[in-house]
Chain A
């Protein structure tokens, strides 16, 4: 048995933690929506400004999960927290920007190129938290609750004690970010199964099965 203990949504207009709204986008602001969250929540990690949009999303949602569940950073050994992320378009947003750097802006940009892999976000989160655990990034045509539940269960059966999972659906016109923590043992949480996970993912436009 394992439990979904904490979760966070970032959409185009709001962010929420455990289903409760934690911030709304100010359309008047000069800052990007993710920068608004960073400032409003008073995060202090200047490297945030160098990150691409996938890593910014992963940073914000994982930090919000840590604030809601501080034991995540104290309860586990440095290799007991695994990460299992996915989305439907890999690092496409940053890939387009990198291609533009050499097609239109004179030269390939190394600072963009290093973010043209979807697993980099897990590297960023590992660095911040000094997590030496398992990582996997999967590209699927849509969010599939069963995949995350099954593979998290595999990770929990092979040495990990918690799995930080994430769906990073970020496109030009839409933001569907959903991070959730599955823990092997927990005092509070709902059983980790596909139905429960679909219900938590539910208030977005995800298709689930």
Chain B
């Protein structure tokens, strides 16, 4: 059995989990207009961490997150031979060394935190974070490691901004997931970390239960969502079936919701096929933007806070139904008893992944 806890978040909304949660409760967004950010020097709406500039930004965020993690668990865990670190990211320290985007930051973590094992980078586009947390649970359940620290981190760079601009995927307003007027994504940057363990005693605060989920490829297109939501349907179904969890037990769905026309439509079709459209759902992209490889860890961390604090968060940016299948989108913050959350992700390469967390 795997536990998950000690969640840490660093984003434009705050340096700590507490600051982030406060901002989320006030429905504040990290997205703002950044002058000259686009390829033609146009202003773009981005969710950028204030003051995060200069070299080694990626390494700096990983280090800050791991420092915060070390204060939330038994100090013997980090350097233990039974512990491994997984880093979920798409582009790492790209601006520092495009030829080797992860080598230096991973080596720096080993030195600074006396890690016993080489960190593994999980790089699967936008599902990296959910996939890495599932990999952590798999390592625990197979008893290969007893503790896995998962850090999700990605930065805004000209590289990713110009790339998404070239695909016409960036919205000219702050992103509006699932809304009728949605026009695309807002890029974001951030870092989050969680600790997955077989031992609930290592956490200073009560952990939650992690049910390891499944991933599934759409086998359809490398950069476009499936029209039928096949991979999302399969990964969600397997995640529920493998853990013996039925729809009636799921209190909330934290969807991927990038705010592109096709992604959000695909998700609505998949949740309709799964008979889950009645369950309250949100996308957190309106708060953080799309943080790519970090998104799954940031959003799972928010889910953990939602369970702990007993609060459903409004799906920021949503006003009017904008998908062919109607979803139960949370339109205002609402106190609620939340026991079980389904978190999903979908991304380039046809990947889809899901996981489930539950209050103990």
Give residues of chain A (91-121) contacting chain B, Cβ–Cβ below 8 Å.
92, 95-96, 98-99, 102, 107-110, 113-120
Question: How far apart are A56's CB and chain B's nearest CB, in angstroms?
Answer: 13
Contact with A along B43-63 (1 / 0, CB 8 A): 000000000000000000000
- Determine whether the beta carbon of B103 is less than 8 Å from that of A141: yes
Chain B binder among A2-10, A35-43, A130-138? A130-138
Determine the distance from Cα of A118 to Cα of B215 in the docked complex, in whole angstroms. 17
Q: Which 10 A-B pairs have the closest CB atoms?
A: A123-B349, A139-B121, A113-B163, A108-B162, A126-B217, A108-B166, A110-B166, A119-B349, A123-B350, A114-B223
- Determine whether the beta carbon of B125 is less than 8 Å from that of A117: yes
Task: Tell me if B360 is interfacial: C-beta within 8 Å of chain A.
Answer: no
Chain B binder among A59-67, A147-155, A185-193? A147-155
- Determine whether the beta carbon of B101 is less than 8 Å from that of A90: yes
Task: Tell me if A122 is interfacial: C-beta within 8 Å of chain B.
Answer: yes
Task: Tell me if A20 is interfacial: C-beta within 8 Å of chain B.
Answer: no
Partner of A102, one of B94, B118, B162, B350: B162
- Smallest CB gap from A103: residue in B: B158
30 A-B contacts (beta carbon < 8 Å):
A78-B219, A90-B101, A90-B102, A96-B99, A117-B123, A117-B124, A119-B123, A119-B351, A120-B348, A120-B349, A123-B221, A123-B349, A124-B222, A126-B218, A129-B219, A130-B219, A132-B219, A133-B216, A134-B215, A135-B349, A136-B122, A136-B124, A136-B135, A138-B120, A139-B102, A154-B138, A154-B139, A158-B138, A158-B212, A158-B242
- Determine whether the beta carbon of A108 is less than 8 Å from that of B351: no
- Determine whether the beta carbon of A89 is less than 8 Å from that of B99: yes
Given contacts A132-B217, A136-B135, A141-B118, contact A119 B167 (CB under 8 A): no
Determine the distance from Cα of A122 to Cα of B350 in the docked complex, in whole angstroms. 9
Question: How far apart are B107's CB and chain A's nearest CB, in angstroms?
Answer: 8
- Chain A positions within 8 Å of B337 at CB level: none
Contact with A along B98-130 (1 / 0, CB 8 A): 111111001000000000001011111100000
Given contacts A134-B214, A138-B123, A141-B118, contact A79 B142 (CB under 8 A): no
- Determine whether the beta carbon of B166 is less than 8 Å from that of A109: yes
Task: Tell me if B189 is interfacial: C-beta within 8 Å of chain A.
Answer: no
Partner of A95, one of B94, B122, B215: B94
- Determine whether the beta carbon of A138 is less than 8 Å from that of B125: no
Partner of B219, one of A95, A119, A127: A127
Question: How far apart are A125's CB and chain B's nearest CB, in angstroms?
Answer: 9
- Determine whether the beta carbon of B90 is less than 8 Å from that of A117: yes
Partner of A98, one of B118, B123, B159: B159
Please give 18 more A-B residue pairs, beta carbons under 8 A apart, in addition to A79-B216, A107-B39, A123-B349. A89-B100, A108-B39, A110-B166, A113-B167, A115-B222, A117-B349, A118-B123, A119-B123, A119-B351, A123-B217, A124-B222, A126-B350, A134-B215, A135-B217, A140-B118, A154-B144, A157-B142, A158-B242
- Chain B positions within 8 Å of A137 at CB level: 122-124
Chain A binder among B11-19, B201-209, B230-238, B255-263? B230-238
Determine the distance from Cα of A119 to Cα of B173 in the docked complex, in whole angstroms. 30
Task: Tell me if B357 is interfacial: C-beta within 8 Å of chain A.
Answer: no
- Determine whether the beta carbon of A138 is less than 8 Å from that of B242: no
- Chain B positions within 8 Å of A134 at CB level: 214-216
- Smallest CB gap from B124: residue in A: A119
Give residues of chain B (73-99) contacting chain A, Cβ–Cβ below 8 Å.
90-92, 94, 98-99
Given contacts A126-B217, A139-B102, A147-B120, contact A117 B162 (CB under 8 A): no
Residue in B103, B106, B217, B238 with the greatest tally of chain A CB atoms within 10 Å: B217
Determine the distance from Cα of A124 to Cα of B98 in the docked complex, in whole angstroms. 24
Task: Tell me if B324 is interfacial: C-beta within 8 Å of chain A.
Answer: no
- Chain A positions within 8 Å of B139 at CB level: 154
- Smallest CB gap from B238: residue in A: A159
Determine the distance from Cα of A92 to Cα of B122 in the docked complex, in whole angstroms. 15
- Chain A positions within 8 Å of B328 at CB level: none
- Smallest CB gap from A114: residue in B: B223
- Chain B positions within 8 Å of A122 at CB level: 217, 349
- Determine whether the beta carbon of B159 is less than 8 Å from that of A136: no
Given contacts A119-B125, A139-B121, A141-B106, contact A127 B220 (CB under 8 A): yes
